[in-house]
Structure 1
Amino acid sequence: MKLVRLLLFISAILVLQTQLNAQQERISGVVVDMKDTPLQFASIYMEELLTTVSSDENGNFSLVVPKNYNEIHLRITMVGKKTEQLVIKRGQFSRVLRIKMEELSYTLKEITVNPILQNTINSNSSIVFDEEAIERIQAFSLMDILNTIPGKATVAPNIDKPQMLNLRGNQEGNYALNNSLGIAIVVDGVNLSNDANMQTRSLSQFSMGGGALSGAKSYTGGDVPFQGIDLRDIPVETIEKVEIIQGVASAQFSELTDGAILIDRKAAKTPWSFVTNVNGGSTNFSLSKGVELSKKAGALNLAVNYAISNPDPRDKVKQFNRLSTSAMWSKNFTKKLRNTLSLDFNKKIDQVKQDPDDETEQLSYSRDYGLRISNRLNLRTESSFAKNINLTFSYSQGQQHSYKQWKLNQSPKGYSYKDTTGIYEGVLLSGRYIAEEEISGKPVTGSMNLNANAHVYTGDVLHVLSYGFSGNYSNNGGKGIIADPDKPRWINQGGQNARPYSFEYLDPLINYGFFVSDNFSVKVGERKLISNLGMRLDQQNGSWSVQPRLSTVLKWNRNLDFTAAFGVSSKSPTMAHRYPAPTFLDIPLILAYNSDASLYLVYTEKMIADNSHLKPSKSMQAEVGVRYQHPWFSSSLTAYWKNNTDGFSTVKKYKQTTLPEYTYYFDAVQKKMIYDQTGGFVNFYGYGDYRMDNLLNLMTYGLDWMVNVKKIEPIHTSLNFSTSVMVSQERPRGTDIVSLSEGIDIQGEKIWYVLFPPSSYDTKLNVMSKLGTTTHIPRLGFIVMANFDLFWTRRTRSKYGDKIQQSTFYQDLAGNAKPYPADFEKIPVRDLSLSKNNQPFIYGCLNLSVAKELKKRFRIAVTAYNVLNIQPENLIYSPTNVESFTVEKFNAPLSITGGISFKF
């Protein structure tokens, strides 16, 4: 009977949908340029159905109009053209629309060169940059665009060190690594992944924060394990639109806890475009072209970008090179079927060359080569259960090679090299050689996304249902950590030495998930409520994660909106988290040498890490906001709360090791060291390793306020203002185990390890404002932009105000945590040296940009950062020596970026 009722229900739905389809109307139109030439690949977005269609080779398009809708809203976008927004009344549905699109130019009366806060299908709180706004920034990488959003300082381009993004969270230590890891970078529907990046030294020896190879000569290294994508890898000249989601994303998006960056690249006919920008020792070149192959063959977009940077052109020791090329073929096979095939190649070399005057002969480099191929297929159907079907495949493969050398001049050192547990004779190194560190990886990633949407009515309410599946694959087949026993860089550091560790036989990571969401609007009295209710279910590292998400907008009237959102999201651990190199504890038993013989007797214990227990990191977010739109200005106020839990971090673990005692002597006849056991045993303390776990918890809340004043015609100037207030509270889990230099006696037992609460337990406050003006004179094709960053305060308050933290438990010889006896008076304390660099005063930074367009083809622009060259200073005195101090500087010195762009 249940099966019969189910079949009857499905049949009733099908009949109802057939009747509803008969009631639906269509609108059609043609998109042309100002010369009435049809435009192919223009995007027509209907707000009511959350649907985007593309114009065909003749510029034609058509859309189904939902029943009972008296008006619809269309947004038409096209590469190189001004965006058009239309409201179509029911009486106009039967007309063939003719939409003319103007070419982007500074001579247009209205242009958009600032980011816009928008309600999109992806989020309630998206910040959107269109093509014109992106070009005005004169960016060397995606990071320069993101630095212009509220709460971020506008700084000069700097591609000499990795650029990692943080949104609404702590930007220090492992908290920053987790925040960056939890930001999804999505390019043309493909989620770029860093999960296969294993360019890290032994986690057990260097911890998560110190795993990447540092650069030579105090320069920053170029590797970014345990975190997100290095934004230096993403040039901006081929980008058409950037959408930044800081809050709750729709259920479609997976593998994120702290936001998403959505990037759409240019995919249509475009003129040749050459762009170059110069800032100090950095230069960026870009050349691109979109070719319409024929009316039936579609369009081919080609681009090449090259950047070179040297922070000090006088010595040319440090140098960064980036080459990016892309090819994108787009074709409308029918009016309902569109396909886009993309091929991307990138090459990056971040290098510190050897200085001929450096006696230590230091040099380092990080080389990265990558190839990515992806394909997007979009099919529109007449089925009510799958109006639009999108299928995306992506595969990428790369080669990473990191190297560092340093000439050492030390005393002889004992070195351990075996990879098994036991006592053996190691080797004695001279201490004078060129030490090397080397890591080689071959990351491979793949992804697949399949989603569709359906239109279902309940009464007069239209439900746009979206549903789909996503999966991703990560692997690394590199040689791994290459350790030459004759040239070790670190010897017996923390009781450990480097061993070779291959990535070739590691198991891949496979994550997948499903989502469904319902977008609908209902009447609440005289108000209109628009909601998107969704649910994700993800399988990540063996754990299922349920992620409800809701975004809603209450349209109070034509001018006033109230918004609210809530969502849960998660991010799986990467291969670097899951598969750290084994731990080798090397405990010296005898180290003796003379001119005739040497002996290094050592005990090695091998421990293989099993991090299968790691859970995905999680985030729970809530937002409420109000927005007001006036003919002369607009304003928005958003309050948010975010609770990040189960973040990845490392903690030191110590153990006691009991080993045989040895004695030795030098045999002059045999000219060798002779050793033997004494029969006694020795306890060794202070040896341990770092372990990975879900330890970090961070609560963040704050306010974002934005105001935009539209153009004041008499002075041709518009204004924008924003203020961001953010408070973050660290709540790490677990304990810190500290090894004592001298043991303490507790109830007749010698204790060497004591337990403290986590030292990182701070509350941070940041308040910042941005004030900008844009003066646009269309008749001259001239723009002047001024931006003033005002830093109100940056403060850190520690839970341990007196800088002293008392031990809570001790660890006995069996490894158990025990409380101190009630009468014990010598409980160890810990000086945390919590001298925080709080901002001592209010300060600001003024940036100025000027751009001029000639004949709509040639543009010249100059941007000055910290144009007044104001660099306030603060003296930080040593707490132990009043004559010792350091100088803390605020604001970087004056920096100028000059650039030209030419379209032909």
Structure 2
Amino acid sequence: MKLTSVSYFFIVFFSLLFFKIQAQEQQLFRGKIVDYKQQPIYLATIHMEALDLKTTSSIDGEFTVRFPKGITSIQIQITVVGKKSIQAQVQPNKPQKFVTQDLSYTLSEVHILPEIKRTNASNSSIVFNEEAIQRLQGFSIMDILNTLPGKASVAPNINRPQTANLRGNFSEDYAFNNSLGVAVVMDGIRLSNDANMQSRSASQFGMRGSLLAGVNNSSSGDVAFQGIDLRDIPVETIERVEIIQGIASAEYDELTDGAILIDRKAGRTPLSFTTNVNGGSSNFSLSKGTQLSKKLGALNIGFNYAISNPNPRDKVKQYNRVTGSLMWSTKFSSQIRNTFSLDVFKTLDQMKIDPDDANNERSYSKGNGIRLSNRLNWNAQHPVAENISWSISYSQSKQETYKQWLLNQTPRGYAYKDTTGIYEGVVLAGRYLAEEEIIGSPITAATTLKASTNFSTGSLLHALSYGLSINYSNNGGKGIIADPDKPRWINQSGQNARPYSFEYLYPLLNYGAFITDNFTLKIGSKTLRSNLGLRLDQQNGAWSFQPRLSTQLEWNSHWNFKAAYGVSSKSPTMAHRYPAPTFLDIPLILAFNSEDALYLVYTEKFIADNSKLKPAKSSQFEFGINYKDSFIASSLTVYTKHNRGGFSSSKQYKNFFLPDYSYAYDEQRKKIVYEQAGTFTNYASYGNYAIENIQNSATVGVDWMLSTKKINALQTSFTVSHSLSSSKEDLKRLEVTYIATPITVDGKQISHLLFPPSSNDRITNFMSKVGTSTHIPQLGFVVSTNLDLFWFTKSASNFDQKMQQAVGYIDNQGISGFFTQQTATIPVRDLSLIANRRKMVYACLNLSVAKEIKKHLRIAVSAYNVLNIQPEQRIYSTSNTEDYIISTYNAPLSITGGLTYKF
């Protein structure tokens, strides 16, 4: 897309905007918000979604809503921390008082289930309110995501990193790209993982292999190349979560696979203590919202501590998380509101030394940091900018990853120089304590300026928003610490680690602009609501043009139809841009005796240039039907998603023609001497990994959700959801494979063959969720059940046979060639693929009980896999031999107990 056409698009939009400067008359609605004691509510949020505007109540609980002349009524939503939200249709010049109710199980109706609704952020968002979040007894945001259609409901587990994956069934690097493309936006500010570089050299190990695994190859505590680790976000201070699995508004940047929008509590709240315990995991939270003087506003403070141990009997593995938050909200005048946030956090994911482990293995991943943010909202009441908001954030942290291993092996040669050439390395003794250490200091900053206004053209009501955003990422850490006396990996793939500092790397700076028109049109008795938007982002030197459209036709009071299409992009991170240099170390002589040792080695240094990496892109299309009456609400969504240019690492081989050497031990000099033998050898097995835009995938799926109102005779409501999705992986690059015994093709010696990708390329999954919620207001009692039904999961490959034919080759000069049908013998490789198809149908039943006592104390117990059913299946290889693996489904019975007390 040329910038000329992009500029033309913006000119058209802004022409429409400034044409509106011929100011239209405004209508006023005045309201007041009080609690059940008739005391005014300060800093309540009043949202006019149709106008994309928000305002807050004054110290007297009063607020004013403006909307264009000719609009007879408009819907507002009032939210207050700890109160039941209010939705009302209001009319100009008709003042109204709103009375809020405290959230309580004693209310006649409580909303503890997620709600599918259209918002300005998306056509089909799934929204969790404060009551639903508290009911889940979650340790992190991941426990909320697990309630979505197609996700298994499992017990809280913060023993390993948790990154979001939305709309897709992927493995390995594909899952990395999916989580990277899920934007996590908290209090209007996107949380960034772009400065995270906690990995070994991706040039040596590839993206997935570069993450430093824990003891016994347990999961890494780091999430380089991926999205935000959701373990770092406690749920107790969250008021609302909106999950966008499909097309997000053009306001949101740096995403390809959806977004998670988080709003935290701001306003007066009682002192609350919450704790949840599950096995060896415990979570404690303390929070308080205090109303200050009239001019100072409200102050919210929260503290959370979590400790998790997967095996409480030995306490070798442990994860700790400590977070503290402060949010100060105030109104400087009737038109200006400001919110300042301060967050501090500390995490430690560690493996202590097992006294019975002869290898003395130990690992940990720890970090601490601070995040500052400020949001200013000005109700300017200007024709071009009815409302102006400005947000700015800064985050800095320190990360440290460490692993040790006591090695006991024969003497090894080690290369340490960082220049190209032949030299004498060192010979290390075989027994020592090997260490790996990575120290990072990621810094991120972001700012967004947004203006919005509203006007009408005939019967068409417009809510126009436009703005700019800038994102900055840097890392000033010491980087990869490589001690030549304690190397962990020696000649791994012909490479050895060198020190690599992050301090002198260039920062990443991405910026963009957006404009959206959220318009409403009356067509007779029908209403068309649409959000048309455009983003233009500059990411890693490349422009990304991203049109997005979401529309919904309200056919009548029961039926509406929806459709959406959008393009989005995600820039590469610093870990993608700046992998450590590759040092290919080729041993020429390794000899030692009791008197001397010699290690002659050739080193060639390659510095990866990933400056040309393009942003990963995604295009999605979805359509659906919603139905709602006084008893049933149903939503059916069919979608397709295509991801292009995702980040992955591919193996590259090089040919080195190096001299041969002869050597002997000189008795007089007590030294091993050597000289060139006059011949040369081609070393063809050495190479490195390159990160490229080579991953493509396509996903199609259907989601259907149905929920009922409470059946009064049973005091019970029901929910059902079905999710069917199929994801096809498509790696746009042939795999290069080294063969130890060269073959001859057309008179050329060939050591490198080209094969089609060997990974499974299609994963299909179908599951259902059936839930009940029994609520007895008189007792303040809620019982919920959830049955997960797993119908099938199937992984299919393009290749039905274990043996795969090569399609081409690379000769010693680096020239590619391809085999033809006339080729006498085409080389093959053994894939030994395991067919991963689950033929059985199985289920998992979860149960949750909660009781409220005098509106101050809540006690809750949740049981996962309450029947403790763990079916097993033998999965045989494609050759139907006795080669098989045993898969066990469903985790064992797990119980979470918790309580909340409001002082």
Provide the rounded CA distance (Å) in 2 between the counterparts of 1:626 and 1:227: 34
Provide the rounded CA distance (Å) in 1 between the counterparts of 2:789 and 2:607: 50
Q: Which residue of 2 aligns with 1:638?
A: 637
Q: Which residue of 2 aligns with 1:803?
A: 802
> What is the CA-CA distance between 1:887 and the residue it aligns to?
2.3
Aligned to 1:384, what secondary structure does the other structure show? Answer: coil
> What is the CA-CA distance between 1:295 and the residue it aligns to?
2.0
> Identity across aligned pairs (percent)?
58
Q: Which residue of 2 aligns with 1:71?
A: 73
Q: Is the 8 A contact 1:766 1:793 kept in 2?
A: yes
Deviations 1:696-715 (A, max 9, x none): 00000100000001100011
Q: Which residue of 1 aligns with 2:8?
A: none
Q: Which residue of 2 aligns with 1:550?
A: 549
Q: Cα–Cα, structure 1 residues 393 and 10, in superposed 2: closer, same or farther, change >3 Å?
A: closer
* Structure 1 segment 627-666 matched on structure 2, within 5 A: 627-666=626-665
Provide the rounded CA distance (Å) in 1 between the counterparts of 2:578 and 2:900: 47
Provide the rounded CA distance (Å) in 1 between the counterparts of 2:170 and 2:241: 22
Deviations 1:281-326 (A, max 9, x none): 0000000000111122100000000000100011000000000000
Q: Which residue of 2 aligns with 1:127?
A: 126
Which amino acid in 2 is paired with 1:86?
A
**Larger CA deviation: 246-255 vs 451-460:** 451-460
Which amino acid in 2 is paired with 1:757?
P
Deviations 1:73-101 (A, max 9, x none): 1111100000111122x4xx323211000
> What is the CA-CA distance between 1:142 and the residue it aligns to?
0.8
Q: Which residue of 2 aligns with 1:54?
A: 56
Which amino acid in 2 is paired with 1:45?
H
Q: Is the 8 A contact 2:734 2:754 kept in 1?
A: yes
Deviations 1:478-533 (A, max 9, x none): 00000000111111010000000000000000000000011111233442111111
Q: Which residue of 1 aligns with 2:209?
A: 210
Q: Which residue of 2 aligns with 1:815?
A: 814
Deviations 1:678-706 (A, max 9, x none): 22211111100111100100000100000
Deviations 1:358-403 (A, max 9, x none): 1000000001111000000000012111011010000000000000
Q: Which residue of 2 aligns with 1:33?
A: 35
Aligned to 2:177, what secondary structure does the other structure show? Answer: helix
State yes or no: 1:277 paired with 2:281: no
Provide the rounded CA distance (Å) in 2 between the counterparts of 1:435 and 1:601: 23
**Larger CA deviation: 176-185 vs 216-225:** 216-225
Provide the rounded CA distance (Å) in 1 between the counterparts of 2:385 and 2:332: 19
Q: Is the 8 A contact 1:643 1:697 kept in 2?
A: yes
Provide the rounded CA distance (Å) in 2 between the counterparts of 1:127 and 1:548: 23
Provide the rounded CA distance (Å) in 1 between the counterparts of 2:137 and 2:170: 25
Q: Which residue of 1 aligns with 2:10?
A: none
* Structure 1 segment 503-518 matched on structure 2, within 5 A: 503-518=502-517
Q: Cα–Cα, structure 1 residues 433 and 118, in superposed 2: closer, same or farther, change >3 Å?
A: same
Q: Is the 8 A contact 1:331 1:338 kept in 2?
A: yes
Q: Which residue of 2 aligns with 1:344?
A: 343
Q: Is the 8 A contact 1:732 1:761 kept in 2?
A: no
Q: Which residue of 2 aligns with 1:20?
A: 24
State yes or no: 1:169 paired with 2:168: yes
Provide the rounded CA distance (Å) in 1 between the counterparts of 2:599 and 2:319: 43
Provide the rounded CA distance (Å) in 2 between the counterparts of 1:13 and 1:182: 32
Q: Is the 8 A contact 1:731 1:761 kept in 2?
A: no
Provide the rounded CA distance (Å) in 2 between the counterparts of 1:194 and 1:16: 40
Provide the rounded CA distance (Å) in 2 between the counterparts of 1:855 and 1:652: 64
**Larger CA deviation: 358-367 vs 208-217:** 208-217
> What is the CA-CA distance between 1:852 and the residue it aligns to?
0.1
Q: Which residue of 2 aligns with 1:590?
A: 589
Which amino acid in 2 is paired with 1:210?
G
Q: Cα–Cα, structure 1 residues 588 and 525, in superposed 2: closer, same or farther, change >3 Å?
A: same
- Supply the RMSD in Å over aligned alpha carbons: 1.7
Provide the rounded CA distance (Å) in 1 between the counterparts of 2:65 and 2:268: 23
Provide the rounded CA distance (Å) in 1 between the counterparts of 2:444 and 2:527: 44
Provide the rounded CA distance (Å) in 2 between the counterparts of 1:595 and 1:82: 81
Q: TM-score, normalised by structure 2?
A: 0.97
Aligned to 2:838, what secondary structure does the other structure show? Answer: coil
Q: Is the 8 A contact 1:426 1:601 kept in 2?
A: yes
> What is the CA-CA distance between 1:760 and the residue it aligns to?
2.5
Q: Which residue of 2 aligns with 1:186?
A: 185
Q: Which residue of 1 aligns with 2:85?
A: 83
State yes or no: 1:376 paired with 2:375: yes
Q: Which residue of 2 aligns with 1:6?
A: none
Extract unaligned runs of 5+ from structure 2.
1-12
Aligned to 2:292, what secondary structure does the other structure show? Answer: strand
Q: Is the 8 A contact 1:386 1:453 kept in 2?
A: yes
Q: Which residue of 2 aligns with 1:734?
A: 733
* Structure 1 segment 354-753 matched on structure 2, within 5 A: 354-753=353-752
Q: Cα–Cα, structure 1 residues 737 and 786, in superposed 2: closer, same or farther, change >3 Å?
A: same
Provide the rounded CA distance (Å) in 1 between the counterparts of 2:331 and 2:283: 34
Q: Which residue of 1 aligns with 2:302?
A: 303
Q: TM-score, normalised by structure 1?
A: 0.97
Deviations 1:711-763 (A, max 9, x none): 00011000000000101111110110000021101122211001011222511
Aligned to 1:811, what secondary structure does the other structure show? Answer: strand
Provide the rounded CA distance (Å) in 2 between the counterparts of 1:532 and 1:125: 12
Deviations 1:450-478 (A, max 9, x none): 00112233334222110000010000000
Provide the rounded CA distance (Å) in 2 between the counterparts of 1:166 and 1:15: 43
Provide the rounded CA distance (Å) in 2 between the counterparts of 1:31 and 1:646: 51
> What is the CA-CA distance between 1:661 and the residue it aligns to?
1.4
Which amino acid in 1 is paired with 2:143?
D
Q: Which residue of 2 aligns with 1:872?
A: 871
Q: Cα–Cα, structure 1 residues 809 and 882, in superposed 2: closer, same or farther, change >3 Å?
A: closer
Aligned to 1:152, what secondary structure does the other structure show? Answer: coil
Q: Which residue of 2 aligns with 1:140?
A: 139
Aligned to 1:731, what secondary structure does the other structure show? Answer: strand
Q: Cα–Cα, structure 1 residues 430 and 42, in superposed 2: closer, same or farther, change >3 Å?
A: same
Provide the rounded CA distance (Å) in 2 between the counterparts of 1:414 and 1:544: 47
Deviations 1:95-118 (A, max 9, x none): 321100000000000010010001
Deviations 1:825-876 (A, max 9, x none): 2211122222132112010000000000000000000000000000001123
Aligned to 2:216, what secondary structure does the other structure show? Answer: helix
Deviations 1:179-206 (A, max 9, x none): 0000000000110000000001011111
Provide the rounded CA distance (Å) in 1 between the counterparts of 2:882 and 2:368: 50
Q: Which residue of 1 aligns with 2:102?
A: 103
Q: Is the 8 A contact 2:52 2:452 kept in 1?
A: no
Aligned to 2:837, what secondary structure does the other structure show? Answer: coil
Which amino acid in 2 is paired with 1:832?
L
Q: Cα–Cα, structure 1 residues 183 and 673, in superposed 2: closer, same or farther, change >3 Å?
A: same
Q: Which residue of 1 aligns with 2:861?
A: 862
> What is the CA-CA distance between 1:663 and the residue it aligns to?
0.7
Q: Cα–Cα, structure 1 residues 13 and 402, in superposed 2: closer, same or farther, change >3 Å?
A: closer
Q: Which residue of 1 aligns with 2:755?
A: 756
Which amino acid in 2 is paired with 1:395?
Y
Q: Which residue of 1 aligns with 2:46?
A: 44
Q: Cα–Cα, structure 1 residues 286 and 667, in superposed 2: closer, same or farther, change >3 Å?
A: same
Provide the rounded CA distance (Å) in 1 between the counterparts of 2:485 and 2:835: 42
Q: Is the 8 A contact 2:169 2:765 kept in 1?
A: no
Q: Which residue of 2 aligns with 1:150?
A: 149
Provide the rounded CA distance (Å) in 2 between the counterparts of 1:198 and 1:11: 44
Q: Is the 8 A contact 1:17 1:456 kept in 2?
A: no
Equivalent residue pairs, number = 892
Q: Is the 8 A contact 2:787 2:846 kept in 1?
A: yes
Provide the rounded CA distance (Å) in 1 between the counterparts of 2:630 and 2:246: 27
Which amino acid in 2 is paired with 1:483?
A
Provide the rounded CA distance (Å) in 1 between the counterparts of 2:455 and 2:882: 75
Provide the rounded CA distance (Å) in 1 between the counterparts of 2:619 and 2:884: 42
Provide the rounded CA distance (Å) in 1 between the counterparts of 2:876 and 2:246: 40
**Larger CA deviation: 828-837 vs 816-825:** 816-825
Provide the rounded CA distance (Å) in 1 between the counterparts of 2:49 and 2:288: 31
Extract unaligned runs of 5+ from structure 1.
1-8
